[in-house]
């Protein structure tokens, strides 16, 4: 139900909530995992292992891997007009979700602000790619969001200051998630969530809140995985002149031709090349 470093909250039908640690130095357990644990006292225990996962949402650079949540079926990326959001970070989250075969939803919060229209325009090309964008104000009507989350275990991700905690409080007031004012001078939000925690909205619907993101590396995805994680690329794959085309400077590249014809956005191919460089720095 919650992960605080090597300390975890495990919920069991038999014992309720139990404070647990992981066995030895292992840190593989994340929020959303189904685990087997051994009680060491009426309120404490040790996690022995986690069970096979249906999904694992995580990020990694060349040196570190950070698992965020397991067994989620929907990733909801939260953005807002203020503070300004990173369109690249949103895309990276969507790519991570695509690589795990997860359903995605972009939640554009703070629709009551006058800057909302411009923010929506920035997301328009993702909407054209088939990614649903839901505009709302967390402090007002979230009926449509509740409908979208029904039946899913949803991971809420996004930059700090986007209003994830406010959304969580509205969806489940018992969470009493902390919120703080945005630092306008820095054009960024302050971290209010320091760990991942799962909340049950109904017997079939759960929500995992996660700390605000400032970066999202995807070094664990090789070229083949990256290609498949861009749904707008799929119909062009295998049509390059060279079988081992990296889609960078090779002649007669199908992706480059698609950009020239307007079938693929330039921003998408640029991001792909950047991610490829990050995942295979010694091959380019």
Number of domains in the chain: 3
CATH number of the CATH domain containing 167? 3.40.50.300
Q: Write out pLDDT tens, residues 80-130.
A: 999 999 999 999 999 999 999 999 999 999 999 999 999 999 999 999 999
Q: Are residues 81 and 177 in the same domain?
A: yes
Q: Are residues 90 and 116 in the same domain?
A: yes
pLDDT of 240 reads: 96
The greatest distance separating any two alpha carbons of the chain, rounded to the nearest whole angstrom, comes to: 67
Q: Are residues 10 and 34 in the same domain?
A: yes
Q: Write out pLDDT tens, residues 200-240.
A: 999 999 999 988 888 899 999 999 999 999 999 999 999 99
Write out the residue range of the structural domain in which residue 34 sits: 2-50
User: Pairing mode, if any, of strands 56-60 and 44-50?
Assistant: unpaired
Other CB atoms within a 10 A radius of the CB of residue 270 amount to 12
Residue 218 resides in a domain: no
Q: Write out pLDDT tens, residues 136-195.
A: 999 888 999 999 999 999 999 999 889 888 899 899 877 765 444 333 433 444 445 567
Q: Are residues 155 and 179 in the same domain?
A: yes
Q: Is pTM beyond 0.85 here?
A: yes
Query: What tokens appear for 231 in the block?
Result: 């749904």
Query: What tokens appear for 22 in the block?
Result: 């992981």
82 touches 183 (CB < 8 A): no
Q: Are residues 235 and 131 in the same domain?
A: no
Q: Are residues 95 and 158 in the same domain?
A: yes
Q: Are residues 61 and 174 in the same domain?
A: yes
Residue 257 resides in a domain: yes
From 163, 178, 209, give the residue that closes a domain. 209
Instruction: Assess whether pLDDT exceeds 70 at residue 282.
Output: no
Residue 217 resides in a domain: no
pLDDT of 26 reads: 57
Given pLDDT bands bounded at 50, 70 and 90, which one contains residue 42?
Answer: confident
Q: Are residues 12 and 108 in the same domain?
A: no
Looking at residue 151, the DSSP 8-state letter turns out to be T
């Amino acid at each position: 139900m919650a992960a605080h470093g090597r300390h975890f909250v495990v919920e069991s039908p038999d014992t309720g909530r139990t404070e647990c640690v992981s066995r030895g130095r292992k840190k593989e357990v994340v929020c959303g995992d189904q685990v087997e644990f051994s009680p060491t006292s009426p309120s404490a225990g040790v996690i022995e292992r986690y069970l096979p996962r249906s999904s694992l949402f995580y990020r990694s650079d060349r040196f570190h891997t950070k698992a965020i949540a397991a067994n989620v079926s929907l990733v909801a990326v939260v953005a807002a007009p203020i503070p300004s959001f990173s369109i690249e970070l949103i895309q990276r989250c969507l790519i991570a979700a695509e690589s795990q075969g997860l359903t995605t939803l972009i939640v554009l919060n703070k629709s009551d602000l006058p800057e909302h229209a411009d923010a929506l325009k920035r997301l328009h090309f993702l909407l054209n790619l088939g990614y649903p964008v839901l505009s709302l104000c967390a402090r007002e009507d979230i009926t449509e969001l509740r409908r979208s989350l029904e039946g899913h275990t949803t991971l809420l991700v996004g930059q700090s200051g986007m209003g994830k905690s406010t959304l969580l409080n509205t969806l489940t007031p018992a969470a009493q998630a902390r919120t703080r004012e945005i630092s306008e001078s820095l054009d960024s939000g302050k971290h209010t969530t320091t760990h991942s925690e799962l909340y049950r909205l109904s017997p079939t619907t759960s929500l995992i809140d996660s700390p605000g993101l400032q970066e999202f590396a995807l070094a664990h995805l090789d070229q083949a995985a990256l290609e498949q994680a861009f749904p707008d690329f799929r119909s062009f794959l295998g049509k390059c002149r060279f079988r081992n085309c990296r889609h960078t400077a090779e002649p007669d590249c199908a992706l480059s031709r698609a950009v020239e014809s307007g079938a693929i956005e330039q921003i998408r191919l640029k991001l792909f090349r950047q991610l490829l460089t990050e995942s295979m720095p010694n091959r380019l």
